[in-house]
Structure 1
Amino acid sequence: MTDNKITNAQIEAQIKELPAQPGVYMMKDETGMIIYVGKAKSLRSRVRSYFRKNNQSYKTQLLVRYIYDFDYIITDTEVEAYILEANLIKKHQPKFNIRLKDDKTYPFIKVTKNLDFPRVFKTRLVKNDGAEYFGPFADVDAIYKTLDVIKDIFQLRSCKKEIIAGEPEAKPCLNYHINKCLGPCIGAVSKEDYHELIDQVMLFLSGRQEELKAEVEKMMENAAQERNYEKAARFRDALKAFAKLSESQKVMSDKNIDQDVVALVEGENDLACSQLLLVRNGRLIGQEYFILEGTEEENKAEMMGSFLQQYYEQAAGIPDELLLNTDLAYRKLIEERLAVLKGKKVKILQPQKGDKKKMLEMAERNAAQNLKKEDIRSKYEKQRTSGAVKKLAEILEIEKEPHHIEGFDISNIQGTDTVASMVVFKNGRPSKKDYRRFKINTVEGPDDFSSMKEVVERRYARLLREDKKLPDLILIDGGKGQLSAAYEVLELLGIDDLAIIGLAKKEEEIFKPGQSEAIIIPHHSPALQLLQRVRDEAHRFAVSYHRKLRSRRLTHSMLDEIPGVGETRRNALLQHFGSLAKIREAKIWQLKEVEGISSKTARKIFDYLRENMRAF
């Protein structure tokens, strides 16, 4: 690879061009990967400080060694830079930043209150779509338990269909008959009554059971006075459920405020834990914890600031008070941002005595315990990943440990829609942002060998053209035939020194080019288990892509058979509804809303899809 590290002269020239304005800067390594994201009140002075040799910490010195280039984004204010920094850290997970260890998105409970008959369900995607979100929650089981309680108490619908007030269907689903749903689809409950229940659900999710209890008691009395005894009985059962729920929730305060209690505890191996206790209306309703990486040489105030920055940019609810067990870096920025998110000022306290101090001590004890669990998990994960990588190099007798593995698989069913997948594992873990999928262009029919040749040639010819880093090991899903096909391409490209193997699934035999005897690794070996994870992930990724293409082809084919629906109308329908299933569920007036669909055509589509329902 060409050495493209910027020289001192280039650095100085680029820094001179930097504006003395707020913004975010991104340090990159030789591969172009972002390794550090920072915010600045003045981009010029902040970036320049990295290349001064005085007063640099060891971590900064190490970072500078890896910097090959940098980029930046100008913002109007320092607060905007603060927000953008949090989003970029979450997206890129730079190794020199303090970051939440879990790369997954945390689940929320979503209430689609903007619909005629709202739904309440779990989601991991927060949008600005008029819905209400509660969370995030680290404990998925807690979400399901909460949703179960909500369903039992309120008998809300669980179906995904669109239900319009005033347009009842002929038959309800089974849930209505077993008293698990109020039946909005058949008009058994009005839109107004249903929204009253949704308001109660949102009180419930906000932790305000006392307010909800008073509201439900009043509604039960009104229902009894109106002699609607069935409705009154439902409210009575809800009150019993609230009583049981309240018994399980620890009373933390007699104050009618929402508090987040955050305790940060440092551990070994450059890890720290932020423990979060969620106190709503004086009751502890839940807890979450987050492991922070990249904390070496960082003080606790910096760690706490980084955690709050990243957490509250994705959190759906902001408390009235934040109780912290440490000092706080960039306090003013965080206070300003929380005030914007909350709509009013949020108190940030560091209590030294009393009940609030006791809450923090409770959070600290939990954080210390969670760090112990993480240490055990990390040791096991190290054995599965870095330990497996090292052992694999020994078994395969390759000089370089395979920290970067690329795995390939071919997928077709009855010779149609042949596709290939490529997955990437780095340091023993999947790197999903580097996955690639391919449509096979030059091969007709079910020819896995030729298909493998095509995809391997396309992948590595491109890497060579673009002077990109090659993998340490290539894994082909298959035996000698697939391996020979792939290796033939590497020879033609002049990179036959690349380590490449085939893994045959039946006996889990490993083949290397030029060796007739298979390598057998014990089934309990972490090295074999790593290869199996790569192979299975490549297979999963290929099959899912194949199914998507096949489904799309069948969808297009079915829509093309409808009289009056050509390519333009077909595309308009799919763009409007998103899927064939949604088009089939649509009513005639909804079909007419699509551009280019007349009343006559809408009727044809409606009738055709219902006559051919079994085809789906």
Structure 2
Amino acid sequence: MSTAIKQLMKREVDIRLPATRDELKAMGLARNYAMEALNRRVRNTAQDTDLEEFATFFDLLKAPERIEIYDNSHISGTHPYGVMVVCGKDGLLKKEYRKFKINTVTNGDDCSMMHEVISRRFKEIPDVLPDFILIDGGRGQRSAVYGELSRLGIPFACIAKGPGRVAGTEVFYLSNGEKLSLDPASKLMHFLCRLRDEAHRFAITSHRKSRDGKLQFSTLLNDIPGIGKTKGKAILAYFGSIQAMKHARVEEISKVPGISLKLAKRVADYLKESQTTLRA
């Protein structure tokens, strides 16, 4: 071992066992750091291989440095959210994830939701462009985003469940309309499904937080004397969001059908005095 280290370091190296508790502790730390560095290098090597295979499969000129993955989540059109997940050479870049609260679609149309998300993404963050976009969806989603992404010159594909919605049989609809498939056992299929699953996880989490926040808010309104379930729903429907309701004045609350000025003041006072944290 000393010979190998000497050749690597190009100088004499003295190897000995730790003689004190401090030296033993230092050796343990050094070993942990070395293992972390080795594991990081292994992960990066695997990631580079995945990205190279990714580029070959989707006919890209080089391995992508930034892949954005999109999905949305809702229940019958309620509390709809779209999300963007980002992957690069170092793996998932969670600090760059983004949520989009759907504003223009209320009927549960997934394709229209995806169109809104993609349009807003490039209006709100115009200076950062991905090398490739992967969208959870099929032909409908492809058609919905084709115009915007073609204008920007960004290659993309939609990943859809295959026959019987069996895992590993996913198919890919490219921007040019071509349909591709992969060996279910291939590393690239596993990599692409991991990206899709991460976007799906983030979308469901974002939707659940929004839904639970509104349920918590609705329950709080029900506790106010004279409000009850029906009037609580009316208040929430009138303002449209928790954030708007939290900052509403008494006069604004009294404009809700069925809410008198006296009740409106009670609502405002209750919310102000309540120690419950309302999540937006």
Q: If the length of structure 1 is used for normalisation, what is the TM-score?
A: 0.33
**Aligned partner of 1:420 among 79, 82, 85:** 82
Q: Deviations over 1:517-537 (max 9, x none)?
A: 223144341x33332232112
Structure (1/2) with the larger helix percentage: 2
**Aligned partner of 1:556 among 207, 211, 217:** 217
User: What residue number does 1:461 align with?
Assistant: 123
User: What residue number does 1:399 align with?
Assistant: 61
User: What residue number does 1:471 align with?
Assistant: 130
The alignment partner of 2:180 has SS state of coil
Contact 2:170 2:181 in 1 (8 A): no
Paired residue type of 1:458 = R
1:2-151 paired onto structure 2 within 5 Å:
none
Deviation at 1:573, TM superposition (A): 5.5
Deviation at 1:579, TM superposition (A): 6.0
**Aligned partner of 1:535 among 188, 196, 202:** 196
- Distance, in Å, in 1 between the alignment partners of 2:98 and 2:190 is 22
The alignment partner of 1:385 has SS state of helix
- Distance, in Å, in 2 between the alignment partners of 1:557 and 1:431 is 35
Contact 1:480 1:511 in 2 (8 A): yes
1:578 aligns with 2:237: no
Identical-pair percentage: 33
Contact 1:385 1:530 in 2 (8 A): no
User: What residue number does 1:502 align with?
Assistant: 158
**Change in 2 beyond 3 A, CA 1:367/1:559:** closer
Deviation at 1:396, TM superposition (A): 1.1
Contact 1:559 1:570 in 2 (8 A): no
**Change in 2 beyond 3 A, CA 1:553/1:365:** closer
Max radius of gyration: which structure?
1
- Distance, in Å, in 1 between the alignment partners of 2:219 and 2:30 is 58
Q: CA RMSD in A?
A: 2.6
Structure with more contact order per residue of length (Cα contacts < 8 Å, sep ≥ 6): 2
**Change in 2 beyond 3 A, CA 1:567/1:470:** farther
User: What residue number does 2:251 align with?
Assistant: none
Q: Deviations over 1:581-607 (max 9, x none)?
A: xxxxxxxxxxxxxxxxxxxxxxxxxxx
Paired residue type of 1:533 = R
Q: Deviations over 1:447-491 (max 9, x none)?
A: 000000011001113333xxx120111110112221221222223
User: What residue number does 1:191 align with?
Assistant: none
**Change in 2 beyond 3 A, CA 1:400/1:499:** farther
1:489 aligns with 2:148: yes
The alignment partner of 1:397 has SS state of coil
How many matched pairs?
Answer: 218
- Distance, in Å, in 2 between the alignment partners of 1:450 and 1:544 is 21
Deviation at 1:415, TM superposition (A): 2.0
1:63-462 paired onto structure 2 within 5 Å:
358-462=20-124
Contact 2:182 2:189 in 1 (8 A): no
Q: Which runs of 4+ in 1 moved over 6 A?
A: none
Question: Could you list the runs of 5+ residues in structure 2 that have no partner in the other structure?
Answer: 6-17, 228-265
User: What residue number does 1:568 align with?
Assistant: 268
Q: Deviations over 1:518-564 (max 9, x none)?
A: 23144341x33332232112111111111111112222222223325
User: What residue number does 1:546 align with?
Assistant: 207
The alignment partner of 1:550 has SS state of helix
- Distance, in Å, in 2 between the alignment partners of 1:521 and 1:510 is 12
